[in-house]
Amino acid sequence: MIERPYLVFLGDVPDRLAAKTAYGIVDWRRDWCIGQLRLPGCNADTGLPDMGIAEAAANGARSLVIGAVNPGGTLPEHWVTTVVEAIEAGMNVASGLHVRLGSIPAIREAAERKGATLHDTRHADRQFATGKGTKRPGKRLLTVGTDCSVGKKYAALAIDQELLARGASSEFCATGQTGVMIAGRGVAIDAVIADFISGAAEWISPAADPGHWQIVEGQGSLFHPSFAGVSLGLLHGAQPDAFVVCHEPTRTKMRNVETPIATIDAVIEETVRLGRLTNPDIRAAGICINTSALDEAAARKCLDEAAERYGLPAADPIRTGVAPIVEHLLANF
């Protein structure tokens, strides 16, 4: 559990893309953030009030959250000073970088001295049991994809938010390093030892009240040759009642490989086929399409065609919101 409120650290990143995590946190958890800390030269701006360490601490900031990435996943020398200052001021620190915070001597020493907690959300150091596959109470939805990076996290966050807005009981269950910062807890499932993928997914979405929804962030794709094992273990462990297929309509190949992108049809068929092992009632509940590369008319057409073809609500979490999917969920699950 990453303590709140957050002070979001942007470093001196060259552009908005390098601060994607910070924007994600501010998009979904604006209320948890009391400010952003930018170093000279920073070219990103989340719109949060700019704030130094002392001011943030005085305002009650509990965690410095590193919302920026650096080529290679390292922590630049001149960012370390800021992290140490935050610890000195009484904050914990969360990072989604490859490098472990505790591997940097100045940070480790400061954390030990001040009793600060260092959260490395890209790593999964907790011990898990192997998955059991037994059905547990509560309702679960998993976002799945025709590829990696097609909007599974945003779809899950949007569905959770819309459920809550309608008074339903819901929580977002994070399975990736950025998701963990947005949720304040969770596990980067692709960082777990392979034997424990489904066990970690069970831990992330434990037994709950029968009417409560756990909206589980998907990872990878059953059709991605690099990551399908992660996607399958997550599917088996999450044992979803409902899944939403996420898709990017202009992509032709899977990310970083030569494999063609999977079709929505294939993902629905395979998710049902394989998901039945731990939940015989698994069903598709909607399609989320990232239409950001399309103009308004093309986006509308794309969503209408998908809704027609699959007989399911289709939405773009950013452009249209996911109200039709959540209405369908509440009426049919």
Q: Interface with its own copies by CB under 8 A: which residues? A: 130-134, 189-195, 197-199, 223, 225-234, 236-237, 256-259, 270, 273-274, 277-278
* C-beta of 90 vs 229, nearer to its own copies: 229
* C-beta of 142 vs 322, nearer to its own copies: 142
What is the smallest separation between the CB atom of 221 and its own copies, expressed in angstroms? 10
The pair phi, psi for residue 278, each rounded to 5°, is -110, -10
What is the smallest separation between the CB atom of 24 and its own copies, expressed in angstroms? 20
Are the beta carbons of 98 and 74 closer than 8 angstroms? yes
How close are the terminal C-alpha atoms of the chain, in Å? 30
| Rounded-to-integer distance, Cα 257 and Cα 206, Å | 34
The pair phi, psi for residue 73, each rounded to 5°, is 70, 20
* C-beta of 179 vs 313, nearer to its own copies: 179
What is the smallest separation between the CB atom of 258 and its own copies, expressed in angstroms? 6
* C-beta of 184 vs 275, nearer to its own copies: 275
* C-beta of 78 vs 273, nearer to its own copies: 273
What is the smallest separation between the CB atom of 204 and its own copies, expressed in angstroms? 13
Long-range contacts of 161-165 (CB under 8 A, 24+ apart): 161/28, 162/321, 162/322, 162/323, 162/325, 162/326, 163/213, 163/215, 163/326, 163/329, 163/330
| Rounded-to-integer distance, Cα 33 and Cα 171, Å | 19
In sequence order, which residues have a C-beta less than 8 Å from that of residue 151 and are 6 or more positions away? 145, 246, 248, 288, 290, 317
Comparing C-alpha atoms, which of 225, 224, 219, 223 is closest to residue 238?
Answer: 219
Beta carbons within 10 angstroms of residue 299's beta carbon:
19
What is the smallest separation between the CB atom of 197 and its own copies, expressed in angstroms? 4
* C-beta of 131 vs 138, nearer to its own copies: 131
What is the smallest separation between the CB atom of 228 and its own copies, expressed in angstroms? 5
